């Protein structure tokens, strides 16, 4: 997200839930390719991915036990040739799961220690002062399960 996002739009796109000692972050109307680029080098267990080739619209589905997005797509340029439809898996180094739902991406089981690192990554390219304001907004609107 290399653009300025309004507070209202941010509140519609980012929803934080606390579940015990961990957090869930739901991301609405998020470009899945942006998520892949953001976590391009993270090790993933049990990646299930479905995507279409932009050139011929063929839909592919894969399940891979242990990989990274950069091994799967080889480069960001290669990723741009595809439209990602859905994916799910577990980031081992970050100790959190991710799964696409019908209209959003859910990142769950996030430890408190890495929560703001994840948000910083997702908001990369936004002024750091404004990013701090958005993180405060996220905490203000946090819901508890």
* pLDDT tens track for 16-71: 999 999 999 999 998 899 999 999 999 999 999 999 988 887 899 999 999 999 99
Classified as helix, coil or strand, 143 is strand
Backbone angles phi, psi at 97, to 5 degrees: -100, 160
Query: Could you give the CA distance from residue 89 to residue 66 in angstroms, rounded to a whole number?
Result: 10
Average pLDDT, the chain: 91
Q: Using alpha carbons, select from 92, 89, 117 the residue that is nearest to residue 42.
A: 92
Residues 6+ apart with CB under 8 A from 113: none
Tally: H helices and E strands in the chain: 6, 8
Direct distance between the N- and C-terminal alpha carbons of the chain, in angstroms, rounded to an integer: 28
Least confident interval from 13-17, 54-58, 77-81, 107-111: 54-58
The model carries a pTM of 0.88
């Amino acid at each position: 997200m290399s653009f300025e996002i309004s507070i209202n739009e941010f509140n519609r796109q980012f929803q934080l839930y606390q579940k015990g000692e961990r957090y869930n972050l739901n991301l609405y109307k998020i470009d899945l390719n942006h998520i892949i680029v953001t976590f391009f080098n993270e090790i993933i267990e049990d990646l299930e991915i479905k995507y279409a080739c932009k050139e011929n619209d063929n839909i592919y589905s894969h399940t891979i036990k242990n990989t990274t997005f950069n091994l799967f797509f080889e480069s960001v340029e290669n990723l741009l040739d595809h439209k990602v439809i859905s994916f799910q898996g577990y980031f081992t180094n970050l100790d959190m799961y991710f799964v696409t739902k019908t209209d959003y991406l859910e990142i769950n089981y996030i430890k408190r220690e890495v929560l703001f690192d994840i948000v910083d990554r997702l908001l990369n390219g936004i002024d750091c002062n404004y990013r701090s304001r958005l993180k405060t907004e996220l905490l203000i609107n946090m819901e508890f399960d």
